Amino acid sequence: MAFNTTNPLIQVEDDRTGLSVETLKRALADNLFYLQGKFPGIATKHDCYMALAYTIRDRLLQRWLNTSQTYLNCDNRVVVYLSAEYLLGPHLGNNLINLGLWEPVKQAVEESGLNLEELINIEEEPGLGNGGLGRLAACFMDSLATLEIPAIGYGIRYEFGIFDQEIEDGWQVEITDKWLQLGNPWEIARPEAAVLVKLGGHTESYTDEKGDYRVRWIPNNLVKGIPYDTPILGYKVSTANNLRLWKSEAAESFDFQRFNMGDYYGAVQNKVTSENLTKVLYPNDEQLQGKELRLAQQYFFVSCSLQDMIRIHLADNPSLENFHEHFAVQLNDTHPSIGVAELMRLLVDEHHYEWGKAWNITQATFSFTNHTLLPEALEKWSLPLFSQMLPRHLEIIYEINQRFLDQVRIKYPNDGDRLAQLSIIDEAGEKWVRMAYLATVGSHAINGVAALHSQLIKETILKDFYELWPEKFSNKTNGVTPRRWLVLSNPRLSNLISSRIGEGWIKNLDELKQLEPFADLAGFRQDWRQVKREVKQDLAHYIKAQSDLVVNPDSLFDVQVKRIHEYKRQHLNILHVIHLYLQIKNNPNLEISPRTFIYGGKAAPGYFIAKLIIKLINSVAEVVNNDPAIGDRLKVVFLSNYNVKFGQKVYPAADLSEQISTAGKEASGTGNMKFSMNGALTIGTLDGANIEIREEVGAENFFLFGLTTPEVEKTLAAGYQPWEYYNNYPDLKAVVDLINSGFFSHGDTELFRPLMDSLFGHDPYLVFADFQAYVDCQHQVGEAYKDQENWSRMAILNVARMGKFSSDRTIREYAEDIWAIKPVVIELEDLCPDGQ
């Protein structure tokens, strides 16, 4: 086809992008040859994966370009999601589902002598996030595209994502994640759209030509941000929104002055430091690190993104006056909250807006989601660090703070305590910038991520702000995308569901309600159990391959997968395992529902107690799995390197979902939703979104235990006494004594001492206080599992009532209440409405 400059449209289906099996096969072979440079005979599996990925990318390019083109040409509002993390998971399978191309591609791949599942499995997932927060951003991107909402995601293209976890001698070992090593076929670099970011230095004031007082920032370092774009396709729509991730580079890669002076090494030093900025993801979930490089990362990606938005805006608008009408920017936690000061700097210093006007634009642009109440996760930066790296921003924050506190003074005269409590600068001891306060003051809307959490925000960390502006606060309960978490990860169950109620539920999850009557049909329950059995068998194979352990697919799969954290209480779970072990040992003929306890999750590398919990789980596994007296009744397995890919295998296979955080600590949770959606029953506390899940599925279909949030607070306020629980509950005492005796540590009585000391000493997570209630509730679970008919009934009802927890619902609520944005339908055929 000759390249036609007057009409550069690539047809939807031409020789290159056709959808027939023959064309797909041809494309696969062409890409292997022309892009991978390989003959089929010597191509590796990875080469074949790459060739297939390019084949699929070609088929979504038109959607992607049409989408950007339409947004440029139409006068619509665009949502900008600013997030330091995106935990996307592999693209290939998801894109096949969303394009509706699974079947022809499967056939083409098979006729080419390859296996589709195998190729899909080869993809290295982009682990550009730690846990729930990053995965939520990915689910939101999926829903935004599916709902045809104009959106851009901005973030960081970490060269090394979340570390790979290996287990050696029961301990976690971290391995660098080299996800880009063999290339990333899903991204396109756009060096032509690079931007410059300043760092360090000082500020100077001057008077401009009109006689106005101004400030300029003289940095001592300049870094270049290169955008890398990835398409995020909606489900069976033509929308493919853009995820733009920034990579840092030296603005000037080579310092000739230093080179000429003979300083050969020094000549490239700046290049090295600049590139370090986006080298690695900080592997802490909900734990502030306070490192200079982290602040630099945050500022870097936020500045790149805002500059990019301003460029886009000015391409079609004479000024920035209506910037907030063009962009609605959602701050995903405080990580991008420096954006408030940066937008003010860009408007005031670079575009010469008057302060008041700039502030109105800024506040109308931003909204802020808080994701945690944990004190150790609340971001604050020390003033010296801040002023050294971002001297101009500190001045701007002072000014924002002063003007804000002036307002407070009017409303609450002579209330010095309140001023100190509300101040963006914490001056109690060492001075800090409180980022949640900056985000709150700079936003027109603030939300939490589940009903309880949103309520607690108003009562605790942002209480004084809520009193000032109650109308700004709302709740947006999290959700997850049913495309990845059901259609892609559990095709058997998806097919069973669709065979009875059609496929409408994939886009409108409330339609799952139609499954309810099927819960009463014995034949359907039988089919349901058959599916579950097959999926569990798959996981059993995976467990055998990874850890050489044989597990029984008919046992109850009791699963806890999530980051390892004391508040999530994986240690409470393992205490229960030890309790069951002891029961069997003391009563060898005990008949219990056989169980397989499955754990997965990463610990932050510097979080010693979390790592010790992993060691304890593995140590218990070693004893239990090898004790002939236990036989098939208990198996314990810690599967290493829990990530999105592994999540896709494990959620479908679970019978029981462990959501056992201390009440009030888990903001929402999203794993809890994925489990229920796949037909697991939950054992859980009244925490985060568990509360709403229980409301939806019915109290009778949920295993509830534990202290409530007010009870937790009361217990702590009264001076929690772990020893009392230990002395009063013989089951707890027996379990703790066994650990302390060195039974699980080859006689070493010191190994688990730090963990035990924390449980007996200072344990804000009240593990011992909830132990007995948990054990009792687990007993009910075991009994309930014996009645397979009723268990299936409950599982079906769980799935049927999960409609609320689609991220489509969450995004609709953001779109209506916070962003005031409407969908824009993308036409596949008509690429350039202006007819270029």
Q: Which residues make up the interface to ligand H53 (CB under 6 A)?
A: 130-133, 136, 285-286, 333, 371-372, 377, 449, 478, 666-670, 688
Whether 247 and 278 have beta carbons less than 8 Å apart is answered as yes
Question: Quick one: tokens of 447?
Answer: 């939300």
Whether 782 and 583 have beta carbons less than 8 Å apart is answered as no
DSSP state at residue 796: H
What's the order of all strands across the beta sheet hosting 425-426? 380-382, 432-434, 425-426
CB nearer ligand H53, residue 450 or residue 738: 450
CB nearer ligand H53, residue 298 or residue 618: 298
Q: Under 8 Å CB-to-CB from 419, ≥6 apart: which residues?
A: 405, 408, 409, 412
CB 130 to ligand H53: min, Å? 6
CB 713 to ligand H53: min, Å? 19
Q: How far apart are CA 359 and CA 365, in angstroms?
A: 10
CB nearer ligand H53, residue 301 or residue 404: 301
CB nearer ligand H53, residue 25 or residue 602: 602
Q: Active site includes 345?
A: no
Whether 450 and 691 have beta carbons less than 8 Å apart is answered as yes
Q: What are phi and psi of 232, to 5 degrees?
A: -115, 105
CB 448 to ligand H53: min, Å? 9
Residue found by looking up tokens 């079947």 in the block: 103
Degrees to nearest 5, angle at CA 723 with 718 and 728: 100
CA atoms within 13 A on the CB side of 507: 14
Q: Active site includes 568?
A: yes
Question: Which amino acid appears at position 408 of this protein?
Answer: V
CB nearer ligand H53, residue 561 or residue 584: 561
CB 376 to ligand H53: min, Å? 10
Cross-strand bridge partners of residue 328 = 79
CB 792 to ligand H53: min, Å? 28
Question: Which amino acid appears at position 57 of this protein?
Answer: R
CB 662 to ligand H53: min, Å? 12
* C-alpha distances in Å from residue 747, one per residue of 25, 105, 579, 750, 754: 61, 56, 19, 9, 16
CB nearer ligand H53, residue 94 or residue 372: 372
Q: Is 766 exposed, middle or buried (0-12, 13-18, 19+ CB in 10 A)?
A: buried
Q: Active site includes 562?
A: yes
CB nearer ligand H53, residue 144 or residue 556: 144
Q: Active site includes 585?
A: no
CB 814 to ligand H53: min, Å? 13
CB nearer ligand H53, residue 170 or residue 479: 479
Residue tagged active-site, from 568, 576, 635, 694: 568
Residue tagged active-site, from 365, 670, 685, 709: 670
From the list 88, 91, 25, 75, the residue with the least C-alpha distance to 55 is 25
CB nearer ligand H53, residue 405 or residue 449: 449
Residue found by looking up tokens 């963006």 in the block: 424
In this chain, which residue has its C-beta nearest to ligand H53? 132
CB 403 to ligand H53: min, Å? 28
Question: Which amino acid appears at position 43 of this protein?
Answer: A
Residue tagged active-site, from 25, 247, 371, 579: 371
Q: How far apart are CA 178 and CA 277, in angstroms?
A: 16
Q: How far apart are CA 246 and CA 229, in angstroms?
A: 9
Cα 57 from chain centre = 24
Whether 685 and 663 have beta carbons less than 8 Å apart is answered as yes
Q: How far apart are CA 641 and CA 132, in angstroms?
A: 15
Q: Active site includes 563?
A: yes
CB 220 to ligand H53: min, Å? 32
Residue tagged active-site, from 345, 380, 525, 562: 562
Catalytic residues, which ones? 371, 562-563, 568, 670, 674
